Amino acid sequence: VFLLLILCQMRRVLVPVKRVIDYTVKIRVRPDKLGVEKTNVKMSINPFCEIAMEQALRLREARLVEEVVAVSVGPAKTQETLRYAMAMGADRSVHIETSPHMETDTDIQPLAVSKLLAKIVEKEQPILVMMGKQSIDDDCNQTGQMLAGGLGWPQACFASELQFLDDDWVQIMREVDGGAQKLKIKLPAVVTADLRLNEPRYATLPNIVKARKKPIEILTADDLGVKIESKIKIISMVEPPPRQSGTIVESVKELHEQLKAIGAI
């Protein structure tokens, strides 16, 4: 009972992370046109999740929080991403393991992920959920908002700055169309990270070795009482058409004539 009380009182940040195709890889559509090719393709932590993890670690280093916990949903290989998060500095991880046949970019969708994360929030009792604004595979940009709505917590999306004002309030600068918006929100809260929030650190070799000894708690959706259902079905996926080459013009008059010829003006 005493240990449980300590865990509940600890100021903790929960950081959801996702395993995605590395951003440097050229994406290829599968022959069946129902997804992208992942066989023998380099996978990495989602860049926005990496930024969120960096911010959580900076909060711990500033002694504003005491523990950083990474969580991820996906098949067994997802643990590679969690190990990387712990190599960056996360204290421990939670893996919600799914069937190896479930695709994290198509079958495991934001609504189901938000419900699973809500159960982890209930279990871990963090003061802050710090997560990427979106993943670069499905680009949904929905999970953070759905999680905050399900929990009834304040939310601040697309954060480019984060500052603790005191133990109960944080100030967020968020990017919006045409400028920036400054928000003050009460903890506990959900914050999603934008690209300019920080520059993530590299996981060093010694820390990668240390991460192998850090604990990963493995759960399933059934353990959490959540049913993973696909609400959207992919009908067809095609590659974008190749970009047409441009034309160099010698004068404004020639530019005007060419634009008029193609019906642009």
Question: What is the H or E stretch that residue 182 is in?
Answer: strand 179-186
Residue 5: the pLDDT is 45
> Which pTM does this prediction carry?
0.86
Rounded Cα distance between 144 and 130, Å, is 9
The answer to whether residues 127 and 65 touch, using CB atoms and an 8 Å cutoff, is yes
pLDDT at 1 over 50: no
Residue 8: the pLDDT is 53
- Contact residues for 199 (Cβ-Cβ < 8 A; gap 6+): 54
When pLDDT is cut at 50, 70 and 90, the band that residue 9 belongs to is low
The answer to whether residues 81 and 17 touch, using CB atoms and an 8 Å cutoff, is yes
Q: Which two tokens stand for residue 103?
A: 């695709």
Rounded Cα distance between 72 and 149, Å, is 20
**Average pLDDT over the chain, rounded to whole?**
91
Angle between helices 78-88 and 47-61 (to 10 degrees): 30
pLDDT at 218 over 90: yes
DSSP state at residue 125: -
Residue 2: the pLDDT is 44
Average of per-residue pLDDT across 223-250: 86
When pLDDT is cut at 50, 70 and 90, the band that residue 6 belongs to is very low
The answer to whether residues 198 and 54 touch, using CB atoms and an 8 Å cutoff, is yes
When pLDDT is cut at 50, 70 and 90, the band that residue 237 belongs to is confident
- pLDDT tens, 109-166? 999 999 999 999 999 999 999 999 999 998 999 999 999 999 999 999 999 999 999 9
Residue 3: the pLDDT is 47
- pLDDT tens, 21-44? 999 999 889 899 888 888 889 999
When pLDDT is cut at 50, 70 and 90, the band that residue 246 belongs to is confident
pLDDT at 7 over 60: no
Neighbours of 180 (CB within 10 A): 11
